[in-house]
């Protein structure tokens, strides 16, 4: 069919007119070759195009989850540091009565651990409640996968420990005489 021009009323010419045509000048003066423009894509490209929106949504959720984890750690550090500041006098009395630095540190870390464990319990309960809604966002894992939930809980407990370690260290260095004189 190359080199043959279809007649204007020919029904077979409709697909040729609908397709994009390319004219080449290599064939000499007055010759035209017609090629139908067909978009070809590999299977991997088709799958990637189908999953692009979901991948973007998943990456966006990961970014916001990371930001939320950072803000939660920063906020928890602030709450524990404020609690230590408020309890300076009490900690000073404990030190004056013979509490060791490790004992004071354990007191502050214990308070943070209780907050962290309560957060993990409520977070896991919330995750299990919304698991059915989130099931479409996960690829290859269940929304109630115990390894994922356990890993998330362990990560949050580690963040609690790291966020409160600085405040606990400062509390363990409080001197009794200075703490009892402060208002």
DSSP helix/strand/coil, 38:
coil
pLDDT digits (tens, 9 = 90+) for 69-126: 888 888 888 888 888 888 888 888 888 899 898 999 999 889 888 988 998 899 889 9
> Is residue 44 domain-resident?
no
- Domain residues for the domain of 165 are 53-181
> What's the 3-state SS for 158-175?
HHHHHHHHHHHHHHHCCC
Name the pTM for this structure.
Answer: 0.60
Q: How far is CA 35 from the centre of its chain?
A: 48
* 34: its two tokens: 């017609």
Same domain, 9 and 78: no
Same domain, 169 and 95: yes
Asked whether residue 30 carries a pLDDT value surpassing 80, the answer given is no
Same domain, 24 and 105: no
Same domain, 80 and 23: no
* 139: its two tokens: 């690829």
> Is residue 45 domain-resident?
no
> Is residue 47 domain-resident?
no
* 168: its two tokens: 């606990």
**Domain count for the chain:** 2
């Amino acid at each position: 069919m190359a080199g043959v021009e279809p007649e204007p009323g020919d029904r077979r010419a409709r697909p040729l007119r609908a397709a994009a045509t390319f004219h080449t000048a290599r064939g000499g003066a007055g010759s035209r070759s017609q090629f139908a423009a067909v978009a070809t894509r590999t299977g991997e490209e088709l799958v990637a195009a189908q999953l692009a929106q979901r991948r973007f949504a998943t990456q966006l959720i990961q970014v916001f989850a990371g930001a939320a984890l950072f803000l939660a750690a920063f906020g928890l550090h602030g709450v524990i540091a404020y609690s230590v500041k408020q309890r300076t006098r009490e900690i000073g009395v404990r030190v004056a009565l013979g509490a060791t630095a490790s004992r004071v540190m354990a007191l502050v870390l214990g308070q943070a651990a209780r907050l962290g464990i309560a957060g993990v319990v409520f977070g896991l309960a919330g995750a299990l409640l919304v698991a059915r809604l989130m099931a479409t966002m996960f690829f290859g894992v269940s929304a109630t996968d115990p390894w994922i939930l356990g890993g998330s809980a362990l990560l949050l407990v580690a963040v609690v420990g790291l966020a409160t370690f600085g405040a606990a260290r400062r509390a363990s260095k409080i001197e009794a005489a200075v703490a009892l004189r402060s208002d």
